[in-house]
Amino acid sequence: MKIIVVVALLLALAGCVSVTKVDSGDRPVGDRLTVNLDGPWNQINAPNLGPAQTWTMEGLPVDQLLLYSGIKNEQAIHAERVGAASGATPKVFAFRSTMQPDEIVTLFEGMLTRDGSRFELVKLEPAPFGGGKGFRFDYTLTRKIDNVQLTGLGYGIVSKGELFAILYQAPKLAFFARQSARVEQLCRSARVKNI
């Protein structure tokens, strides 16, 4: 009987998730961010994904592109999560408009390691992004659930007190290298209106 209930629950949850093809060309992400795609991506639409648009090429267990457009002061950068059975409230990682690039990277580190995964910052440097002076960072992430090592990169900028960022991560072996040039092009094409 328990198996039937679990299967029914999984089928109900699967109905809440949809995938939309995002075609090549200029694409708006929120109200102020646009990117130019040189090929299609798949956008994952599901409840409680958080404030970022989630895109993938190979499927979410393999690669993930997070696009943040206009995260406001004190807004969490992740989906809300119900506390553990003990009633503990999970830590919230919220953007503050006064944050410096190293603090924003630490914010993303906190979000990416909420499940116990391990994050290591490889490099952080100033870089043009969105039409202004932003920052770029490289990192590795070892997922707790399966111990797979991911390679990631991110770009970000704060404009008019709002955070705009793009993060991409995929397994270090084969998958990251497969899409990294396409992601770099996408990040270089990003434009923030009224920067």
Beta strands, E only, the chain = 18-22, 25-29, 33-37, 41-45, 53-56, 64-71, 118-129, 132-142, 149-159, 162-171, 191-192
Query: Nearest-CA neighbor of 29 among 76, 65, 74, 82?
Result: 65
Query: Nearest-CA neighbor of 166 among 147, 180, 148?
Result: 180
CATH superfamily of 16-81+89-192: Mog1/PsbP, alpha/beta/alpha sandwich (3.40.1000.10)
Residue that has been written with the tokens 């009224």 in this structure:
194
Which sequence spans correspond to the domains of the chain? 16-81+89-192
| CA–CA–CA angle 27, 153, 101 (5° rounding) | 95
Query: Three-class SS of residue 12?
Result: helix
Residues in the chain: 195
pTM for the full predicted model: 0.88
pLDDT in tens, the chain (195 residues): 333 333 333 434 455 789 999 999 999 999 999 999 999 999 999 888 899 999 999 998 899 999 999 999 999 999 986 554 555 677 899 999 999 999 999 999 999 999 999 999 999 999 999 999 999 999 999 999 999 999 999 999 999 999 999 999 999 988 999 999 999 999 999 999 987
What is the DSSP code string of 145-180?
TT--EEEEEEEEEEETTEEEEEEEEEETTTHHHHHH
CB distance 176 to 150 below 8 Å:
yes
Distance spanning both ends of the chain, measured CA to CA = 57
